[in-house]
Chains A and B, each alone.
Chain A
C-alpha cells in the first residue's frame, strides 16, 4: 500500500469521538422555557435587566425573523432545524457577583480547557513561562461568568466586559455601535441572534490607546439542547489597536446544538483590530451524529481612513460551519485581511470564506485560505471581493488552496470577484491537490513516521496562516490541527 493510501485508510478509520473537550460539567442551571416566542425574548431581556430600548430592538428583530426564510445557498445539508426544540437561555443557577462566587465546577471546566480565570493563576502563568498576559472573558452557555484583568485594563481606559454589562453601564456606546455593522435584518441567523442573544463580550479602546494585553473570550456550550447566541462588539476608536482572541468548545452530545453568533467590529480612523479565532466546537461522532451547527455572522467595518481589520481563523470543529468574516473597507486607504485554516474530517461540512467590500479609495485586502478535507467531509471556500465605482485604486490578492486527504471527501472553491473600477487590481489564484507522494516519501526516507510526515506537510501547507496568529495561539492551533487529523497525524 502506498504511503498516501495508508494515510487515507487511517484517516478513514479515525474516531472523531476522541474529541478531547467532550466532557460535561455537572452544575445546576436555570433555563428559559423551551422554544421561541415573544415571551422568550421578553424573558431573556428581563433576566438581564435590560433597558426598554434593548427589548424593543430584540422584539423588532424577532418579528422580522419570523418573515425570513432560512438561507439555502451554502453547500451544507442538514435536517430541518426545529427552532422550537431549543432552549434559548441557560445560565448557572447561582449567578456570580464576583470571581470568587463562581461555581467551582465552572472554574474546573475552564481549568480543564486551559483557561486560567483567576488572575493570580494567570499571573503565575506569566512569571513561569514569560508569556504575554491575556485578559479572558469566559462565556458559559449563555452567560459571561468572569472577566479577568478588568482593573488593569480600566487604567488604560479600555473597557472589556460582558455585553450585558455594557448595555447597563455604557448604553451610549452600545446604542451608537450595536447593529451598525450587522443590521437587524442582515440575514436569518443574525436576526435570530439579535432577538435572543444572551451574552458575549464588549470591547472599547479609546483614541490613541494600544491595548496593553491580548483580550480573549472563551465560549463553552454545556447545557443540553441549548442554543448559544453570543454577541460581540469591538470598537477601536481613532488611532487605537487591539488584538482579540476567541476560543470555543462544547461537550459531546448526540443531538445537534445550535450556535448562532454575531460579531461586529468597528475600526475608526487609523485604528487596527486583529481578531483571531480557534473554533473547536464538538464536530459530531464518526457517523456524523451530534455536533454543533455553527452559523456565524462576523463583520468588520473599517469606518475610518487608514483603518485595518484582520481576521484569522482556525476552524476545526462543528458539524456545520457557515461563516464568512468580512470587511467593509469604507475609509480611504483602509485594509482588510482574512487568513483561514479550515479543516474538516468525519462528516463535517464547512462553508466558509470572506467578503471584502471595497468602498473607499486605495483600499486593499488580502485573503489567504487553506482548506483541508479528510474523511467524508465537504469543505467549501466561498468568497466575495468587490470594488465599487468610487473605490479607485482598490487592490485585492486572494490565494485559496485546498488539500484533499482521501477520495471520499470534497473540496470546493467558489469565489466571486466584482470589479466596477478600472483602477482596481484583483488577483486570485486557487489550487487543489493532495499530499504529494514524493514529499511524503522524502519525509519517510529521512526517518519520520507516517503521522509525523503528514503533520509536517499539513503544517507546511498552512504555515502562511499560522504565522498570523498570536504566538501562544499558534502553538495551540498547531496541536489542534494534529488532533483534528487524528489517525493520520495523531
Chain B
C-alpha cells in the first residue's frame, strides 16, 4: 500500500537483466507452430518487462531486480553431482544440472515418461498442454523458463490407472555455477492417480535453478505431490507450480523449503470443474540469511470447489520468510469453501516474516477465511515442558517440530513423510550444533 506510481518508462537494465536478455538472444527460437509462438512471446515479454521489483505487487517482498545481482551462464555440466535423496519405494529419474539421466527401464503399466527434448523433436501431442494453464499475468521466471525451453520431462498417466509407487524427479546441481531452466509436464488422465515427488539439491555453487512444473489433473483424477527444496546455500531457486484441476479432481501438495540463498515458489492452482479439492501445505525452515518466498494463487473459477492452504515458517538467524496467498472466487463460483493459514515462528530478533493473505471474492454463497500469525515460541509451553524435565533445547526442538509437524501431517504416504521429517530434524539439530 505504498502510494508510489506505476513505472511508466522502463528503467535501465541491471547486469542480471542484461545477462538474461543476452541468454535469450543467444538462443533464438527457430521452431514454428504453437510452441515457437509461445517461446517467442515469452522472450519478448521478458525483454519488455525485465525482472520484477517491489512495486510489482506480486513481488513486493522479493525484489528480484535488486536481489538477483549476477546470473551465471548456461553451460553443460562440468561435474556430476552426488546422489539424490532417496524416498522408499520411489521410481527415480535424476536430472543433473538439467541434464536428464537414464530413464527407468521399467515403468508401471499405463505410465509413460519421455524427455522434453524427445517430445519436442517428435512434436508429441501432449505438448499441446504445455503453457495451456499458465497464468495470463506476466511472470519473469515463468517467461524465462518458457523462452529457454528444452530441458525436462513429460510424464503421462493413462486414464483410470492408479500408480502404486511414487515417481521421483530428482534434480541435482553441482560443479561450476550455471543457470538451468527445466520444465516438467505431468498429465494425469481421467480417473487416474499418481504420487509425484520432486527434489532439488545442490552443492555450494551460486547456480540459478529456474524450474516450472505444469500439472494437469483430469476429471476424477488425483495427484499427491511432494516438493523438497534443499538447494545449495548459495543457490537461487525460482520455482513455479501450475496445477489445473478437472471436475472432482484432487490435488494435495506439500512443499518443504530448506535451502537456497534466495528462493521463490509461485503456485497457481486453478479449478476447471466443480467438485475439485486442492490442498497446498508447506513448511519452510530457514537459517542464516536465507530469503524464501512462497506465493500462492488459488483461482476458484467454477462453483463447488474446496481449497486448503497451510504454511508454517520457522525463521532463525537473519532469515526472511514471505508468504503471500490469494484466494480468488469468481462470480459464478458459488459454494466455494476456501481456507488459508500462514503461521510463522521467529527464533531470532534479526529474522523477518512478511505475510499477505488475500481474499478476492465475487460470489456471495461462499465460506472463505484466512488467518496469519507471527511470533516467538510460546513461553508458557516452553516452561511447561521444562517443568517436566526437558532441557531448554530439547523443549524448543519439540515445540518447533510440533509447529511444523501440523503441516507435514498432511503427507498421506508415511514413508515419504518420514523422509521429510528427517530433513526437518536435521535442520533443527544443525541449528543447535
Q: B-contacting residues of A (Cβ < 8 Å)?
A: 8, 68-69, 71-73, 186-188, 324, 353, 355, 382, 384, 389, 392, 402, 404-434
Contacts and interface: CB of A to CB of B under 8 A. Distances in A.
B362 A71 contact: no
A421 B334 CA distance: 40
B374 A424 contact: yes
B11 to A, nearest CB: 16
Given A426-B373, A434-B366, A421 B357 contact: no
Nearest to B55: A73
20 contacts: A68-B5, A69-B6, A389-B349, A404-B363, A409-B364, A410-B362, A412-B360, A415-B356, A415-B358, A417-B355, A418-B355, A419-B354, A419-B375, A422-B375, A423-B376, A425-B374, A430-B357, A432-B368, A434-B364, A434-B366
Contact of A419 (B353, B364, B369): B353
A422 B348 contact: yes
A186 B360 CA distance: 28
B349 A417 contact: no
A420 B57 CA distance: 20
B359 A430 contact: yes
The 4 closest A-B pairs by CB, nearest first: A69-B5, A404-B364, A187-B3, A422-B346
A430 B1 contact: no
Most central of A419, A421, A427 by chain B CB within 10 Å: A419
B370 interface: yes
A421 B346 contact: yes
A371 B208 CA distance: 44
A235 to B, nearest CB: 25
Nearest to B338: A432
Specify which of B349, B356, B364, B365 lies most central, judged by the most chain A CB atoms within 10 Å of its CB. Answer: B364
B352 interface: yes
Given A384-B1, A409-B364, A432-B368, A419 B374 contact: yes
A430 B370 contact: yes
B160 interface: no
Nearest to A381: B359
A68 B6 CA distance: 11
Contact of A432 (B331, B353, B356, B361): B361
A426 B374 CA distance: 5
Contact of A428 (B1, B357, B365): B357
Given A409-B364, A422-B351, 11 more contacts: A68-B5, A73-B1, A73-B2, A407-B364, A410-B361, A412-B361, A418-B355, A419-B374, A425-B374, A426-B375, A431-B368
Interface string B5-28: 110100000000000000000000
B371 interface: yes
A421 B1 CA distance: 21
Nearest to A75: B360
B197 interface: no
A430 to B, nearest CB: 5
A382 B359 CA distance: 11
B350 to A, nearest CB: 8
Nearest to A435: B364
Contacts of A355: 1
Contacts of A426: 355, 372-375
B86 interface: no
Nearest to B331: A407
Contacts of B358: 412-415
B420 interface: no
A375 to B, nearest CB: 12
Contacts of B404: none
Nearest to B329: A432
B347 interface: yes
The residue among A68, A187, A410 with the most chain B CB atoms within 10 A of its own CB is A410
A414 B372 CA distance: 12
Contacts of B367: 431-433
Contacts of A425: 373-376
B370 A413 contact: yes
Contacts of A417: 353-356, 372, 374
A188 B351 CA distance: 33
B88 to A, nearest CB: 37
Nearest to A419: B374
A476 B365 CA distance: 30
B349 A422 contact: yes
A404 B361 contact: yes
Contacts of A429: 369-371
B301 to A, nearest CB: 15
Nearest to A429: B371
Nearest to A379: B361
A249 B376 CA distance: 47
B144 to A, nearest CB: 26
B187 interface: no
Contacts of A188: 3
Given A422-B348, A422-B349, A411 B374 contact: no
Nearest to A398: B372
A27 to B, nearest CB: 37
A286 to B, nearest CB: 20
A423 B366 CA distance: 36
A408 B330 CA distance: 10
A280 to B, nearest CB: 25
A16 B354 CA distance: 40
Nearest to B334: A407
A410 B371 CA distance: 20
B347 A422 contact: yes
A419 B368 contact: no
A408 B361 CA distance: 10
A11 to B, nearest CB: 11
A416 B365 CA distance: 26
A157 to B, nearest CB: 37
A324 B1 CA distance: 10
B192 interface: no
Contacts of A432: 359, 361, 366-369
